[in-house]
Chains A and B, each alone.
Chain A
Amino acid sequence: MAAITSDMEIEVRRPRRSVVVGVLLLVWVAAYFVLRGVNTLVLGGQETTGFHDWLTEHRDDVGQGNAFFDAIRIAVDHFVVLLQDVISQPSFDRPVPVIGWLGVVAVSAYLAWAFGNWKVAVLTAAGLGFVGLQGLWQESMDTLALTIAAVLLSLLVAIPLGIWAGLSDRAYKVATLVLDLMQTLPTFVYLAPLTLFFAIGPAAATIATLIYAAPPAVRLTAHAIRSVPPESVEAARSLGSTRGQTLTKVLLPMSRSTVVVGINQTIMAALSMVTVAALIDAPGLGQTVLKALQTLDVGVAFNAGLAIVVLAIVLDRVTTAAGDRPWRTASIRRKVLLGAGAVGVLVAIWFSRTYVWAAEFPSSPNVGSRIAVVTSDVTTWVQDVFGGFTYGVRDAVTNGLLNPLEALLTGSPWWLVTAVVVALAAVLGGWRGALPAAVCLLLLVATGVWHDSMITLASTVLATVVVVAVGLVLGVWAGRNHRVDTWIRPVLDAGQTMPPFVYLVPFLALFGTSRFTAIAAAVVFAVPVTTKIVADGIKAVPVATVEAANSVGSSTWQVISKVQLPVARRAITLAVNQGLIYVLSMVVVGGLVGAGALGYGVAAGFAQSELYGKGLAAGLAIVLLGVLLDRVTQAAARRTGQFKGRGEKR
């Protein structure tokens, strides 16, 4: 008897969390069958709420003709046009840019060499040569000019902000929140209003890119500053450094390599905006992609997308090399060679200003059209061979997983969904999970697009689960095997920087117009970043820890599941978070291939003036979903973790 009581006590005191979650889900499903269709807050395609109309009415209230924005616009416009004059557009009464292709290749390779090493210099020259051969020299240079402008301006804003957030805890907290919002808010939401602030033209495109691209630089600068060993800072202070001296002589130099990682990510983000910015007339490769898409010309779109990927890889490798450069200053020999190289560059520039062959990229061996033809053929082949099979997969996943989940979310009353999700969040993450969940869900109701949000939520959850699963498998594989890592990286880079617009057409061919297509596109887009973070996390597990595990005779699977994954927990939490953000950033693109719901709402708001407010509300709803999922997963991860979240600051 006594034994039984004590047993029961243990049962009651610690009900397993998974049991509670299971019970909650069962209750939900049961309640769904009873309450199906009640209070589901459905809103038809062209219907709007008062809130939406209010937003629509006030769209134009923002700073049109405001002197401040005008000044910014003029400055940015001039800057971009100047860069274009130098490398891409005929300028100063000459039929060619100031510096022709030979000069650009020479300067770029030289800079890559000076800041990085000779390997990336060769890569740079090869990469630029390749986009030239693709027949996309001028478009690439336009893209490059815009990217450079956007990145430089981003850094101008981001680095001071990052320093501030690095030095002040409060600024750091605020910054993290705002940056999360900036990164999940769909670009489409602010694209049109931006043209109101900054008119149509390079300025609006640059600033749209800036908004999207600056966050990583802020984040990583702050992170870098906060990661400087405290002893070095104390040493400087103990010798009587002023704050300024500590900053310029200790914090900044010691943050260099991490800040460069931030710059690198900013560049990648800027390049991934190329196509979207083309919607407001940003010049360059994005235009080529969009034009090709109008006629479903996969080959040409892929060719231009490939040029973007090549530019991205070149810029990535060069910045990475620059970040990894040791502190040691140049040897005499290197200095001499650098000097000689500089002369060579000047000669190349002179040539490119003087002779037509060096100014305009030769058009004769055009690799681009070949690439386009091959791509089209391959795509057609894949479609013909796999077409039937892929439809089968789509229907199985949609009917087996997506539809039930969506039915549960959209068919339950809003208050039931809210109650269950808040309860789940509380069980999994304590009040830190429950409170944000409650706030987000109530705000979602307020946006008036609850029903659409639930549809998008279902797809997002499914996509994120797939992304995390695939990312974990690939990431662990790459993290444990150096060879795999070297091979997989360029593919991941390509997946991350290839504009999704390029693979929409083949995906549409394979899966038709459906939510599944959108999920597949989101997975392709989000898996690379998740994989990379997991791989880096696994690689960072101390060798000694793994050796210790091996020494007691653990199997490979045990090493992975009991040592590497738990130790890399931080990285994995980050990977989940980033995977989620990437999936959400594809919601709008998903709307273009049949996902409907919020993504379509945002796109429609961008295209139809009377739906602007609804589009904005849909954009906000995407942000809210992002915050909701992020906070709940973070809180759950914190609770599951063995370590107490002391070092959370970092």
Chain B
Amino acid sequence: MTAQLEYPGVQDSDALLSIEGLWKVFGPKAQRVPRRPDLAALDRAALYHQTGCTAAVRDLSFDVAPGEVFVVMGLSGSGKSTLVRCLTRLIEPTAGSLIFEGEDLRAADEKRLRTLRRSKFSMVFQHFGLLPHRKVIDNVSYGLEIRGESKPDRRRRAQEVIDLVGLAGNEHLYPEQLSGGMQQRVGLARALANDPDVLLFDEPFSALDPLIRREMQTEVVRLHREVGKTMVFITHDLSEALKLGDRILLMRDGAAVQLGTGDELVGAPADDYVREFVRDVQRADVLTLRWICREPRPDEPLDGPELGPDVLVREATRLVLEADRPVKVVAGGQLLGVIGDEEILAVVADTN
């Protein structure tokens, strides 16, 4: 989890995927909603009452950097699925721009879109979306098949990804013969098979048992390390978001509430909604020393042990409690602050 601060400072120029003012409105005459400020300002219930429309995604802007795991989080119905589908125009956005590798996706025609979907994007679905009439290997090679690759080629490639996701030996079974976790591995393998640049996950593990879910999360972390793909990962599970996400976008009723790293969300919630959201988090597992260090008091000795700002509170607990003087938080030779027993205990003992 030390990767957290290694994400590149996101600039428009080197963003892989850049979203600007994105709207998706369902309902009659949806286009007018983003255009008319009076309508755009309405909340969900009022909008529905007045126009019969639902704004599933409202005015979102963010960039996704190459190699990043970008997590979108929110309660059910907050528009996550709609958002992720808008990214490849599986759902046609109502307004806004989508720039991928400098190309305007909203201007792309059907054919170009298909080409992109065949080679650049892949998606993993909550309920797997497998084809029950095809064996595992044929499910995995589906994407290769429709782009016209020869049978031996797609067999070989499919076998590779099947091995990669740990499905070896199950190639000739049908999806219904597999457990949920295994089925989602098939979904994962299918997404990886056409070697995309961006992987989109729509709550891929929500339907799985907790144990399996944790295993699969670890699997994703491993894959990310091995293949280094950019990922947009949807979840409603905060711990999952914190575990996987380099950055997290928290949504509510289609709009962005806060965008930041996990410890930013926990350490500096933008509003009460976010605060409520992150309340039950084991803060010690998320917060780093950066968030809890304080100015040294004048009378304090400054010769205690040194730690970096990105060390998790949990990892530092023992050292701080054992030391008989405040621990210094130092970055690049610069003293950021110190941490004493009470700061550590305030976080660790935090039960609310």
Contacts and interface: CB of A to CB of B under 8 A. Distances in A.
Contact of A239 (B85, B117, B132, B133): B117
Given A229-B129, A250-B131, A327-B133, A238 B88 contact: yes
Contact of A328 (B118, B146, B174): B174
Nearest to A329: B135
B114 A242 contact: yes
Contact of B125 (A234, A249, A256, A328): A234
Given A245-B146, A249-B142, A235 B118 contact: no
Nearest to B187: A235
Interface string B172-190: 0010100000000001001
A5 B174 CA distance: 68
A326 B187 CA distance: 21
A637 B176 CA distance: 36
A256 B131 contact: no
Given A239-B118, A239-B194, A242-B114, A234 B129 contact: yes
Nearest to B116: A240
B123 interface: yes
A229 B127 contact: yes
Nearest to B144: A239
Interface residues of B, number: 34
A240 B132 contact: no
B121 interface: yes
B133 A256 contact: yes
B176 A327 contact: yes
Nearest to A235: B129
A256 B127 CA distance: 21
Given A240-B114, A240-B147, A234 B90 contact: yes
B70 interface: no
B117 A237 contact: yes
A281 to B, nearest CB: 44
A253 B113 CA distance: 25
A107 to B, nearest CB: 27
Interface in A227-254: 229, 231-242, 245, 249-250, 253-254
A242 B130 CA distance: 17
B115 interface: yes
B131 A238 contact: no
Contacts of B126: 231
B241 to A, nearest CB: 22
B140 to A, nearest CB: 11
Given A239-B194, A240-B143, A240-B146, A231 B133 contact: no
Nearest to A244: B146
Interface in A206-264: 229, 231-242, 245, 249-250, 253-254, 256
A238 B121 contact: yes
Most buried by B among A234, A239, A242: A239
Contact of B131 (A232, A242, A328): A232
Given A231-B126, A249-B142, A328-B174, A237 B131 contact: no
Interface in A33-69: none
A231 B123 CA distance: 11
B122 interface: yes
B129 A239 contact: no
A256 B168 CA distance: 29
A99 to B, nearest CB: 33
A245 B194 CA distance: 17
Interface in B138-195: 142-143, 145-147, 174, 176, 187, 190, 194
B128 interface: yes
B174 A239 contact: no
Given A232-B129, A235-B130, A245-B146, A240 B85 contact: no
A231 B125 contact: yes
B143 A239 contact: yes
Contacts of A236: 131, 142, 146
B208 to A, nearest CB: 15
Nearest to B174: A327
Contacts of B146: 236, 239-242, 245, 249
Nearest to A238: B123
B117 A238 contact: yes
Nearest to B118: A240
Given A253-B133, A254-B133, A239 B190 contact: yes
A53 to B, nearest CB: 47
Contacts of A326: 174
A229 B117 CA distance: 20
A456 B168 CA distance: 68
Contact of A240 (B117, B127, B130): B117
B192 to A, nearest CB: 12
Interface string B81-118: 00001001010000000000000000000000111111
B47 to A, nearest CB: 18
A237 B129 contact: no
Contacts of A233: 129
Contacts of B174: 326-328
Contacts of B121: 238
Contact of A231 (B114, B115, B129): B129
Nearest to B128: A231
Contact of B90 (A229, A232, A238, A256): A238
A328 B127 CA distance: 21
B315 to A, nearest CB: 39
B176 to A, nearest CB: 7
A237 B90 contact: yes
Contacts of A328: 174
A241 B113 CA distance: 10
Contacts of B115: 240
B131 A253 contact: yes
B132 to A, nearest CB: 6
Contacts of B125: 231, 234-235
A237 B116 CA distance: 11
Nearest to A230: B129
Interface string A397-417: 000000000000000000000
A238 B122 contact: yes
Contacts of A327: 132-134, 174, 176
B126 to A, nearest CB: 7
A254 B143 contact: no
Contacts of B147: 240
Given A250-B131, A327-B133, A328-B174, A235 B114 contact: no
A330 to B, nearest CB: 13
A245 B187 CA distance: 19
Nearest to B121: A238
Contacts of A245: 146
A232 B115 CA distance: 19
Most buried by A among B123, B176, B187, B194: B123
A250 B145 CA distance: 13
A72 to B, nearest CB: 35
Contacts of B132: 254, 327
Contacts of B88: 238
Contacts of A238: 88, 90, 117, 121-123, 200
Interface in A327-366: 327-328
A277 B117 CA distance: 53
A326 to B, nearest CB: 8
Nearest to A256: B133
Contact of B85 (A232, A234, A249, A254): A234
A305 to B, nearest CB: 39
24 contacts: A231-B126, A231-B128, A234-B90, A234-B129, A235-B130, A235-B190, A236-B146, A237-B90, A238-B117, A238-B122, A238-B123, A238-B200, A239-B118, A239-B142, A240-B117, A240-B118, A240-B119, A240-B146, A240-B147, A242-B146, A249-B142, A254-B133, A327-B134, A328-B174
The 5 closest A-B pairs by CB, nearest first: A240-B118, A235-B129, A231-B129, A240-B117, A239-B143
Given A240-B117, A240-B119, 4 more contacts: A235-B130, A238-B200, A241-B114, A326-B174
Interface of A: 229, 231-242, 245, 249-250, 253-254, 256, 326-328
